[in-house]
Structures are given as C-alpha cells and as structure tokens.
A and B are shown apart, each in its own frame.
Chain A
Amino acid sequence: DVKVTQSSRYLVKRTGEKVFLECVQDMDHENMFWYRQDPGLGLRLIYFSYDVKMKEKGDIPEGYSVSREKKERFSLILESASTNQTSMYLCASSPLARQETQYFGPGTRLLVL
C-alpha cells in the first residue's frame, strides 16, 4: 500500500512564526503536491513538484514556499504565519503518468493565533 505521512496531525503556531510542514511518501512517486482545504472551498493547490529540486506554483502560492531535496520528501514552509493561513493542509503524491491516482496523507490541521 502507498503510504503518505505528514509530520503533525495538529499544530498551533503564533502569528509571525516560521512553520514547516513535512510530507514523506514511500512509493518512489515523482509527483508531490500540497493543498489547503477550507470549508466550502474544497481543495486548493498551493505548490507541486514533479522531481527533486523542481517546483511549480499552484493556484494559491502566496505566503508559502516549498522544498524538495529528496524524492520522498516535500516540505511546505510558511515564512511568517498569519491567521488567514489557519487551515487543513493535505499532502499528496502520484506517479508521473498523467491519469494516475493521487494518494493523500492524513492532513495537518494548523491553527495560527
């Protein structure tokens, strides 16, 4: 079974803090994705990566950055957390072929005070 793990299930941070969300997948997938999920808005893509050290902006990249130094690990960074970044963050991975399924981690619920 594909396994995507995220470093924290729940996280509480203060405004202005730097926040790291880590995601690891164990299936040698090329693609990795970060989404945020908010009620009534569904999933919105923040960034994705199709290879080590490669990244592409999604629909809402402002206020976020990412890092992919190893194939299995994709990190989301909030340089200076703000209250409007309180959300559920979901990581996903998929093989390179275009019709392939995305596999999701359990999510990190982030609260910024």
Chain B
Amino acid sequence: AQSVTQLGSHVSVSEGALVLLRCNYSSSVPPYLFWYVQYPNQGLQLLLKYTSAATLVKGINGFEAEFKKSETSFHLTKPSAHMRDAAEYFCAVTMNTGNQFYFGTGTSLTVIP
C-alpha cells in the first residue's frame, strides 16, 4: 500500500527565510510524486511533480523539490519565503498502476513579517 507522511502540520518561517516542508512516502516501486498548494477558500493547485525524470524538480513560485530514493523523501523547499506563500501544502503520491492519488495530511505554512 502507498502512503505519504508530512512531518509537521504547522510550519512558521520569517519572511525571507528558507522554507522546508517535509514529505516521506512509502512505496514498493518508484512512485510519481506531487506537491500541491491550497490558498484560503480555494481548491488545490499543482506546484510541481516528479515523474522519474530529473530528481530535482523546479515548480512555480520559486519552489523546488528533490526526490531521494534512499531516504524515500520528496521535501519541498524555497530559498526565501514571501508573505504570499502562506497557504496549506499537500504532498501526494500515485503509482504506475491505478489512478488513485494518496495525499498527506497537509502542512500549514505561516510567514511572519
């Protein structure tokens, strides 16, 4: 079975500081991995995805994530946080069999002025 664990349901950073949101997956075969962002009262929007090409994936709004098979991780980073990055972030995994996505429980990012 596939699952995703997001460590830290709430993360606070100062404006301009590094953002690091953690995601670990469990999978017996290489997965496809996604990060989504949800702004207040909106649906989810794709930030970036890993589909077995380059292990370092660049997404929108300056975010990137690195797939590390040895650590079964896909952590999301951004060098310098902006106030507009305050949102809920979800990591998700899907496999090369089946259409189902498995979402983490989400991490709420607060950016402190």
Contacts and interface: CB of A to CB of B under 8 A. Distances in A.
User: A-B pairs with the 9 shortest C-beta distances?
Assistant: A104-B43, A42-B105, A43-B103, A104-B44, A99-B32, A99-B51, A106-B43, A42-B103, A42-B106
Contact of A102 (B95, B97, B101): B101
| Interface bracket on A | 20 to 34
B51 A104 contact: no
A12 interface: no
Contacts of B96: 98-99
A48 B104 contact: no
B104 to A, nearest CB: 6
Interface of B, secondary structure class, is: loop
Given A48-B99, A48-B100, A41 B105 contact: yes
Interface in A32-88: 33, 35, 40-45, 48, 50, 58
Contact of A90 (B44, B49, B99, B106): B44
Contact of B46 (A42, A48, A101, A109): A101
